[in-house]
Structure 1
Amino acid sequence: GPGSARSRWYQTARDRFHPDRLARSRSRPAGCDTPGMRVAILGFGLIGGSVARALGAAADAAAWSVVAWSPGGAGPSRAAEDRVIVHAALRPEDAIDGADIILLAAPPLEILELLDGLGGRWAAHVAPGAVITDVASTKAILMDRADALGLRFVGGHPMAGRETAGYEASSAELFQGRPWVVVPGRHADRAAVLAVETLAVACGARPVRLTAREHDDAVAGISHLPLVIAAALVEAVAGDGREDPPGWSLARSLAAGGWRDMTRLARGDVTMGAGIAASNATALAARLHDMQAVLDDWLVELGGPDGPDVEAIARRLRAARERLEEMP
């Protein structure tokens, strides 16, 4: 069953993770003397909190112990009170000291700063053989930085989320059955990749190995473009907030499910969204050009000299629906 599969993954990774793990003597944060894989989570919102909860609910939960740090500290403190993690660190270096896996769960641009710290001022606290990974929605910019710093880095991206942010929104079930993209870095050996895949499986996800380019091109269309389109829809209909456009007051009073569903992504974490768009700008811009061409074609469809062709419109809508029905 799923539990035995996760246990086999864990046993394989533990045997091959790094041969000197028992030989090294590292200090551990206070309260963090639990045996097994030690995971340090830097950044502790929806995804980081859900990873901690998922590991705590895994069939082999005793094999994992989690320490967390965030700039504000509220999430880790609450998680420690909830016994979701074993320790809420006050500083990043306290969290990573002795960790087997260091998971960066912050917005992409903040992860760049964390990588700089791990390759610089905190390097002495990174245990020999420790694996660094992340959960960010863009990969190439992070892989390039980690590779340049010589870090044993394996990029990661669980394809799961929700519009609500923060530890309070986290769930042990968030990753169940979902793909977890794994992107091996230049300095990551087979054992490092296996460790990250083991973490993903323990969280209930399915590891999928991709290159950074493959990942970023794909998510630009299925994740980042929808985010920008949702925001653009709000801007087009509701304005930019400085003044209400004509008709918005009435439209707002009539808005129902269609508006709510189409604008859901625009209700998410602004800092996270901005970092995603900025860090995958090239691929996202290419998808926006594709979208612009399609919208221009719709304008032609609706503005023909003989009026709209209802059958042609129906064919386009039917084709779109059929493409969606092909998806699992």
Structure 2
Amino acid sequence: MKIGILGLGLIGGCLGFDLRSQGHHVLGVSCRQSTCEKAINLGSVDQASLDLSLLASAEVVFICTPIGLIVPQVKELITHLPKAAIITDVGSVKMPIVEAISPVWENFVGGHPMAGKTDAGIEAAQRNLFVNRPYVLTPVATTPSNAVTIVEEIVRSLGSIIYHCQPEQHDRAVSWISHLPVIVSASLIAACLSETDPEIAALAQNFASSGFRDTSRVGGGNPELGVMMAQYNRQALLNSLYQYRENLDEFIHIIEGKNWELLAEKIKLNHQALHNFLE
């Protein structure tokens, strides 16, 4: 199968590696000639170009651009594609994307692989990134079943675990487990930077180890991606942040009141509940 990838960053590069290993002929388009050359040299794509017309022969096209570029890029891309071509995306927000693209391209299947790295760019791409990771598909009532089936087959070949839900459900769910952690983690780093005693600040930086690394990792990631998450999933993220603030205030009150038994009970319950998210 000829498969196109529009956007040869981390996710596009990883997709290219895996799809080529499945025997597909992969066509890549990037906005930078240097990225096209790197993608070919690394073996992520068979052909690469700055020109969207390269994808005209693709049967399926994965849109792997930043969230804000997905809709305008698709509207430009469809002028080059036959009506039978299937388009899917990898954006971490689904409702505004599905609402904008589905009316103009029937064979569109919203998608989101729940996998990634803090490093960005084609240089950070690796094989098997999607193995045993959730991959969410968000078809709507007008999405042709055969388009969904073909995207499912490709996703399954990546080793991913497929989930289906409505775009709005997706956005509410990822606001909790993906977008909220980015903002919370960023605020943790900002809070640490607010220490005014240079000696204490230096000690904190020297002492930082696995605990700080684990809780701060996503907050120090790709700034563009963090902003796009907040901009395009604003209301769901705000709802999650309001709830998080309430829970944080509760912990503050417990500690202010020296209610150690209640604190221990809450941490115990959280520890038990964590298994529901990270089995």
Q: TM-score range by the shorter chain?
A: over 0.9
Shift of 1:289: 0.5
Q: Does 1:115 align with 2:74?
A: yes
Taking the aligned partners of 1:136 and 1:292, their CA distance within structure 2 comes to 27
Secondary structure of the residue that 1:97 maps to in structure 2? helix
Taking the aligned partners of 2:140 and 2:59, their CA distance within structure 1 comes to 17
1:98 equivalent among 23, 35, 57? 57
Secondary structure of the residue that 2:57 maps to in structure 1? coil
Taking the aligned partners of 2:167 and 2:275, their CA distance within structure 1 comes to 28
Taking the aligned partners of 1:186 and 1:102, their CA distance within structure 2 comes to 21
Equivalent residue, structure 1, for 2:85: 130
Shift of 1:179: 1.6
Equivalent residue, structure 2, for 1:207: 162
Q: Which aligned segments of 4 or more residues in structure 1 are displaced greater than 6 angstroms? A: none
Shift of 1:83: 3.0
2:269 equivalent among 319, 322, 328? 319
Shift of 1:185: 4.2
Note if contact 1:43-1:68 (Cα within 8 Å) is conserved in structure 2: yes
Taking the aligned partners of 2:274 and 2:38, their CA distance within structure 1 comes to 40
Taking the aligned partners of 1:254 and 1:310, their CA distance within structure 2 comes to 26
Aligned ranges for residues 1-328 of structure 1 at < 5 Å? 37-57=1-21, 61-62=22-23, 64-94=24-54, 96-119=55-78, 123=79, 125-185=80-140, 187-239=142-194, 245-246=196-197, 247-304=200-257, 308-326=258-276, 327-328=278-279
Note if contact 2:8-2:39 (Cα within 8 Å) is conserved in structure 1: no
Q: Which has the larger radius of gyration?
A: 1
Taking the aligned partners of 2:29 and 2:253, their CA distance within structure 1 comes to 53
Note if contact 2:63-2:70 (Cα within 8 Å) is conserved in structure 1: yes
Shift of 1:118: 2.9
RMSD after superposition = 1.6
Note if contact 1:100-1:131 (Cα within 8 Å) is conserved in structure 2: yes
If asked which structure has higher relative contact order (CA below 8 Å, sep 6+), I would say 1
Taking the aligned partners of 1:261 and 1:135, their CA distance within structure 2 comes to 25
Secondary structure of the residue that 1:144 maps to in structure 2? helix
Taking the aligned partners of 1:245 and 1:104, their CA distance within structure 2 comes to 45
Shift of 1:250: 3.0
Taking the aligned partners of 1:295 and 1:236, their CA distance within structure 2 comes to 14
* Change beyond 3 A, Cα 1:186–1:245: farther
Note if contact 2:32-2:50 (Cα within 8 Å) is conserved in structure 1: no
Taking the aligned partners of 2:116 and 2:16, their CA distance within structure 1 comes to 15
Structure 1 stretch displaced more, 184-193 or 294-303: 184-193
Secondary structure of the residue that 1:198 maps to in structure 2? helix
Amino acid paired to 1:107: P
Shift of 1:168: 1.6
TM-score, normalised relative to structure 1: 0.80
Taking the aligned partners of 1:302 and 1:252, their CA distance within structure 2 comes to 25
Per-residue Cα deviation, 1:63-102 (whole angstroms, up to 9, x for no partner): x1111111123333222123331101121222x2111111
Note if contact 1:108-1:138 (Cα within 8 Å) is conserved in structure 2: yes
Per-residue Cα deviation, 1:98-126 (whole angstroms, up to 9, x for no partner): 1111110011111122123235xxx1x11
Amino acid paired to 1:314: A
Amino acid paired to 1:184: P
Shift of 1:186: 5.3
Gaps of 5+ in 2: none
Note if contact 2:6-2:28 (Cα within 8 Å) is conserved in structure 1: yes
